Amino acid sequence: MNKMNYRIALQSKKMLTNALIRLMATDDYSKITITQICKEADLSRRTFYRLYKTKEDILNEYMDLLTTSFMEKIKESKPKHYPEVATVYFSFCREHMDFLKLLKKICCWILFTT
Protein backbone atom coordinates (compact mmCIF):
# COMPACT_ATOMS: atom_id res chain seq x y z
CA MET A 1 0.00 0.00 0.00
CA ASN A 2 1.48 3.38 -0.95
CA LYS A 3 1.68 6.29 1.50
CA MET A 4 -1.36 8.07 0.09
CA ASN A 5 -3.58 4.99 0.29
CA TYR A 6 -2.26 4.29 3.79
CA ARG A 7 -3.17 7.80 4.96
CA ILE A 8 -6.61 7.56 3.38
CA ALA A 9 -7.19 4.18 5.06
CA LEU A 10 -6.11 5.59 8.44
CA GLN A 11 -8.41 8.58 8.01
CA SER A 12 -11.32 6.32 7.01
CA LYS A 13 -10.70 4.08 10.03
CA LYS A 14 -10.71 7.11 12.31
CA MET A 15 -13.95 8.37 10.75
CA LEU A 16 -15.62 4.96 11.16
CA THR A 17 -14.41 4.65 14.75
CA ASN A 18 -15.67 8.10 15.67
CA ALA A 19 -18.97 7.39 13.95
CA LEU A 20 -19.46 4.15 15.87
CA ILE A 21 -18.63 5.84 19.18
CA ARG A 22 -21.09 8.67 18.45
CA LEU A 23 -23.80 6.13 17.61
CA MET A 24 -23.05 4.11 20.75
CA ALA A 25 -23.75 7.23 22.80
CA THR A 26 -27.33 7.40 21.53
CA ASP A 27 -28.26 3.94 20.24
CA ASP A 28 -28.28 0.41 21.57
CA TYR A 29 -25.06 -1.19 20.34
CA SER A 30 -26.82 -4.37 19.25
CA LYS A 31 -29.05 -2.36 16.92
CA ILE A 32 -26.32 -0.28 15.28
CA THR A 33 -25.86 -1.39 11.69
CA ILE A 34 -22.96 -1.10 9.28
CA THR A 35 -25.16 1.14 7.15
CA GLN A 36 -25.71 3.52 10.09
CA ILE A 37 -21.99 3.63 10.84
CA CYS A 38 -21.17 4.39 7.21
CA LYS A 39 -23.83 7.06 6.97
CA GLU A 40 -22.62 8.68 10.20
CA ALA A 41 -19.02 8.58 8.91
CA ASP A 42 -20.08 9.75 5.45
CA LEU A 43 -18.29 6.77 3.89
CA SER A 44 -19.49 3.94 1.67
CA ARG A 45 -20.16 0.40 2.83
CA ARG A 46 -17.51 -0.64 0.34
CA THR A 47 -14.95 1.41 2.26
CA PHE A 48 -16.11 -0.17 5.52
CA TYR A 49 -15.72 -3.71 4.18
CA ARG A 50 -12.34 -2.89 2.67
CA LEU A 51 -11.16 -2.07 6.21
CA TYR A 52 -13.28 -4.23 8.54
CA LYS A 53 -15.49 -7.29 8.58
CA THR A 54 -17.72 -6.33 11.52
CA LYS A 55 -18.42 -3.41 13.82
CA GLU A 56 -16.71 -5.43 16.56
CA ASP A 57 -13.50 -5.17 14.53
CA ILE A 58 -13.67 -1.39 14.94
CA LEU A 59 -13.99 -1.72 18.71
CA ASN A 60 -11.21 -4.31 18.91
CA GLU A 61 -8.85 -2.09 16.97
CA TYR A 62 -9.73 0.97 19.04
CA MET A 63 -9.22 -0.94 22.27
CA ASP A 64 -5.84 -2.15 20.97
CA LEU A 65 -4.93 1.49 20.32
CA LEU A 66 -6.00 2.47 23.83
CA THR A 67 -4.01 -0.38 25.33
CA THR A 68 -0.92 0.63 23.39
CA SER A 69 -1.40 4.25 24.41
CA PHE A 70 -1.74 3.25 28.07
CA MET A 71 1.42 1.14 27.93
CA GLU A 72 3.29 4.08 26.37
CA LYS A 73 2.14 6.34 29.21
CA ILE A 74 3.40 3.80 31.74
CA LYS A 75 6.78 3.63 29.98
CA GLU A 76 7.01 7.42 29.78
CA SER A 77 6.23 7.94 33.46
CA LYS A 78 8.67 5.21 34.58
CA PRO A 79 6.78 4.49 37.80
CA LYS A 80 8.81 3.00 40.63
CA HIS A 81 5.94 2.13 42.98
CA TYR A 82 2.34 0.95 42.70
CA PRO A 83 0.85 4.33 43.69
CA GLU A 84 2.57 5.87 40.67
CA VAL A 85 1.17 3.16 38.40
CA ALA A 86 -2.28 3.74 39.90
CA THR A 87 -1.99 7.46 39.26
CA VAL A 88 -1.18 6.87 35.58
CA TYR A 89 -3.97 4.28 35.35
CA PHE A 90 -6.67 6.49 36.85
CA SER A 91 -5.51 9.52 34.88
CA PHE A 92 -5.77 7.48 31.68
CA CYS A 93 -9.23 6.22 32.66
CA ARG A 94 -10.40 9.75 33.41
CA GLU A 95 -9.14 10.86 30.01
CA HIS A 96 -11.17 8.11 28.27
CA MET A 97 -14.12 7.98 30.67
CA ASP A 98 -16.83 8.62 28.07
CA PHE A 99 -15.70 5.71 25.92
CA LEU A 100 -15.24 3.43 28.95
CA LYS A 101 -18.82 4.12 30.04
CA LEU A 102 -20.05 3.18 26.56
CA LEU A 103 -17.95 0.04 26.69
CA LYS A 104 -19.43 -0.87 30.06
CA LYS A 105 -22.92 -0.68 28.52
CA ILE A 106 -21.85 -3.10 25.79
CA CYS A 107 -20.25 -5.51 28.26
CA CYS A 108 -23.39 -5.56 30.39
CA TRP A 109 -25.50 -6.19 27.30
CA ILE A 110 -23.26 -9.11 26.29
CA LEU A 111 -23.33 -10.62 29.78
CA PHE A 112 -27.10 -10.49 30.05
CA THR A 113 -27.89 -11.68 26.54
CA THR A 114 -25.65 -14.74 26.43
Q: Which amino acid is at 114?
A: T
- Kindly give the parts of the chain with pLDDT less than 70: 1-4, 108-114
Report pLDDT for 114. 45
* DSSP secondary structure, 44-97, as one string: -HHHHHHH-SSHHHHHHHHHHHHHHHHHHHHHHH---SHHHHHHHHHHHHHHTH
Instruction: Catalogue all structural domains in the chain, each as residue range(s) with its CATH number.
Output: 3-113 (1.10.357.10)
DSSP letter (8 states) at residue 42: T
CA atoms within 13 A on the CB side of 33: 4
pTM for the model stands at 0.82
Structure confidence at residue 12 (pLDDT): 97
pLDDT for 108 equals 60
